[in-house]
């Protein structure tokens, strides 16, 4: 049997695919290697995966309906889907909303159609897991963010596409009984991370002696979640698909560290890992940003045995060490 992993050349996709291969799974990875950030980083992640037996890569756009429809014929053993590819990033969604509609809405539909087609095929569709985001909580002010809260007030178009993807999945789970799980990731970081996210931006600026932009004068908190904890939660979600509760086998979970950190404390941890002081440039709040993220993980602990265990004091040095060796600095 085989598992389709979308966004396999991405940060989370690469780590999850690596973990699946390590336990002996067959993985078909897809990615279009777009240039939202340096594609050489995506190629380097892919090169790591391609050394592993059991991995097959297809360069394609997962929003390409015709190409996706050909996958079951090309890979008849597919019976699970891990849809981790997306156009990510909150701020870019304000500049390029159509890119988000294409990858995150149309792309979600093509993956759901693939799940439907597998379901009707020889092996069925055992599990359809897709990435959502803490961004769906948008303007919510009640902390920690719980799955039971309403999430109909996104403050970025990115958040709106992720919420829409959850609603879309609900309809297909209901209509076709596809066991579906949405994972709301909370600020994921670690080795091979994303160049548009703060761990990378701050580390590179500190090492190069450039000032770092600190939004809302540092009065922000984030529930930073280490990649290994995210990988464990994602595999558990794949392995424990929901059964039909009420009308549809669909569950949504928060995957966050459950320990929000002040932005300035977090910068201090990066400074210690880099053994260098940061130059801080205080900036106002950015459009689309939220003041604090904090995950209530009651459901994910209970159903997925999700137990994030990596503090930023442990995780940030892992990222900084990787960054230094990747760039040889
Ligand atoms: N990293 C985080 O902190 C975080 C937080 C919340 C949610 N998420 C979600 O988790 C998932 C993975 O995020 P990531 O941090 O690994 O991002 P990433 O950008 O590193 O990975 C996404 C991958 O998807 C690929 N992709 C995008 N559109 C595509 C398309 N149309 N066809 C084929 N490939 C396409 C990209 O090339 C990229 O390699 C995304 O759905 C993202 O929205 C991430």
Question: What's the pLDDT at 286?
Answer: 86
- As beta bridge partners, residue 215 has 283
Atom of ligand 1 nearest to the CA of 14: 16
- Please tell me the residue having the least CA distance from ligand 1 atom 11: 84
Does the structure show a pLDDT above 70 at 299? yes
| Centroid of ligand 1 to alpha carbon of 131 (angstroms) | 8
166 lines ligand 1 (CB under 6 A): no
31 lines ligand 1 (CB under 6 A): yes
Backbone CA torsion sign across 292, 293, 296, 301: negative
3-state secondary structure (DSSP) of residue 228: helix
H or E element at residue 110 = helix 107-120
- As beta bridge partners, residue 53 has none
CA-closest candidate to residue 34, choices 113, 110, 92: 92
Question: What's the pLDDT at 310?
Answer: 98
Report residue 56 as tokens.
């097959």
Per the omega criterion (within 30 degrees of 0), is the bond before 202 cis?
A: no
Does the structure show a pLDDT above 90 at 53? yes
Q: Which residues contact 155 (CB under 8 A, 6 or more apart)?
A: 138, 139, 288, 289, 290
Question: What's the pLDDT at 246?
Answer: 66
Enumerate the domain spans of the chain: 2-193+224-258+294-309
Question: What's the pLDDT at 290?
Answer: 86
Pocket test for ligand 1, best of 5, 9, 12, 319 (most atoms within 8 A of CB): 12
Does the structure show a pLDDT above 80 at 98? yes
Q: What phi and psi, each to the nearest 5 degrees, are found at residue 6?
A: -90, 155
Kindly give the pairing relationship between strand 221-222 and strand 261-262.
Answer: antiparallel
pLDDT in tens, 229-280: 999 999 999 999 998 766 899 999 999 999 999 999 999 999 999 999 999 9
Q: What is the mean pLDDT of the chain?
A: 96
Question: What's the pLDDT at 175?
Answer: 96
Pocket test for ligand 1, best of 41, 88, 182, 229 (most atoms within 8 A of CB): 88
Which one of the listed residues 37, 130, 158, 176 is annotated catalytic? 158
199 lines ligand 1 (CB under 6 A): no
182 lines ligand 1 (CB under 6 A): no
**1-28-116-240 Cα dihedral, nearest 10 degrees:** 60
Rounded alpha-carbon distances, angstroms, from residue 36 to 131, 150, 310: 18, 31, 28
Helix 198-208 vs helix 312-327: crossing angle, to nearest 10: 60
32 lines ligand 1 (CB under 6 A): yes
From the candidate CATH numbers 3.20.20.70, 3.40.50.10860, 1.10.10.410, 3.40.50.720, the one assigned to the domain spanning 2-193+224-258+294-309: 3.40.50.720
pLDDT in tens, 180-191: 999 999 999 999
- Please tell me the residue having the least CA distance from ligand 1 atom 18: 10
**Which of 132-136, 166-170, 183-187, 282-286 bottoms out in mean pLDDT, i.e. has the lowest?**
282-286
Distance CA 270, CA 266 (A): 7
The pLDDT of 58-63, averaged and rounded, is: 98
Report residue 111 as tokens.
């993956």
Question: What's the pLDDT at 91?
Answer: 85
CA-closest candidate to residue 6, choices 92, 96, 112: 112
Distance CA 221, CA 175 (A): 39
The pLDDT of 59-71, averaged and rounded, is: 98
- Please tell me the residue having the least CA distance from ligand 1 atom 2: 188
Any catalytic annotation for residue 158?
yes
Report residue 117 as tokens.
């087609």
């Amino acid at each position: 049997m085989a598992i389709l992993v979308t966004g396999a050349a991405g940060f989370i996709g690469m780590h999850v695919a690596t973990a699946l291969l390590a336990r002996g799974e067959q993985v078909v990875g897809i990615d279009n290697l777009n240039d939202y950030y340096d594609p050489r980083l995506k190629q380097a992640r892919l090169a790591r995966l391609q050394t592993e037996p059991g991995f097959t890569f297809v360069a394609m756009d997962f929003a390409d309906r015709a190409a996706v429809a050909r996958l079951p014929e090309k890979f008849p053993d597919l019976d699970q889907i891990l849809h981790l590819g997306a156009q990510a990033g909150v701020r870019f969604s304000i500049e390029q909303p159509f890119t988000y509609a294409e990858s995150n809405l149309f792309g979600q539909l093509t993956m759901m159609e693939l799940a439907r087609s597998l379901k009707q095929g020889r092996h069925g569709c055992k599990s359809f897991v897709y990435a959502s985001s803490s961004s769906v909580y948008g303007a919510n002010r009640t902390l920690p963010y719980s799955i039971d809260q309403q999430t109909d007030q996104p403050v970025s178009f990115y958040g709106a596409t992720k919420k829409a993807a959850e609603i879309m999945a609900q309809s297909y789970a209901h209509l076709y009984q596809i066991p579906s799980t949405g994972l709301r990731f909370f600020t994921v970081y670690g080795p091979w991370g994303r160049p548009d996210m703060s761990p990378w931006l701050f580390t590179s600026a500190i090492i190069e002696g450039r000032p770092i932009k600190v939004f809302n004068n540092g009065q922000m908190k984030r529930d930073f979640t280490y990649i290994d904890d995210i990988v464990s939660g994602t595999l558990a979600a794949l392995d424990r698909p929901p059964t039909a509760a009420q009308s549809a086998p669909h569950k949504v979970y928060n995957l966050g560290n459950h320990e929000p950190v002040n932005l300035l404390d977090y910068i201090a941890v990066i400074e210690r890992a880099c053994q260098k002081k940061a130059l801080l440039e205080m900036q106002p709040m950015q459009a689309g940003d939220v003041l604090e993220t904090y995950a209530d993980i009651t459901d994910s602990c209970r159903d997925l045995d999700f137990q994030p265990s990596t503090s930023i004091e442990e995780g940030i040095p892992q990222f900084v060490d990787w960054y230094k060796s990747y760039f040889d600095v």
